[in-house]
Amino acid sequence: MDKNSNIIKFESLVPMEENINVTNNKFKKIMLIYSFALKEIETRINILRDEFKYLYNYELIYDIKTRIKSLESIISKMTRKGYSITYGNLIKNINDIAGIRVICKFENDIIAIKKLIKKIPEVKIIKEKDYINNPKESGYKSHHIILTVPVNLLENITYVKVEIQIRTIAMDNWANIEHAIKYKPIHNVKIKN
């Protein structure tokens, strides 16, 4: 059997115009497939990290963090961007449902990490955003890569989008503070004497 004959589009797994319903199996299946994509790219990046350390005796990648965007965050982002809450818009327009953060010690390491990620077989780069040379007004810095990862299901292969953010430890600390200020409610805590 030709390997390419069982490749299907991720969008074909659900009715694209149907509104998202978190209580049905369609939503659960989509989120499960995003988690598979995340595991796939995390494994590949961990192999790069371990091999690089073995070959060069240098810790190029300091830490790796992963997350699947919560339903609340997905709906909030779709609403903010003016998308109707359908499976089609979720898959086509929200690129960071599956996210992986690759953290290094030095800014020069980001270039090496980008090159290694681009060499991963069967991964397709869709888009890059360079917030290091072009930081956001808030001071946020990071290099983002949106790519698709092959996910081997029982009967098919599908390509799923994952967002990779590459940044230094210092950039990661700043991003965490910025995110807390922007998206989390500020609590005024009063401590009694």
Could you give the CA distance from residue 96 to residue 113 in angstroms, rounded to a whole number? Answer: 19
Sequence ranges of the domains in the chain: 3-183
Superfamily of domain 3-183: Beta Polymerase, domain 2 (3.30.460.10)
Residue 183: is its pLDDT beyond 70? no
Q: What's the pLDDT tens digit per position in 127-162?
A: 999 999 999 888 889 999 999 999 999 989 999 999
- pTM for the predicted model, two decimal places: 0.88
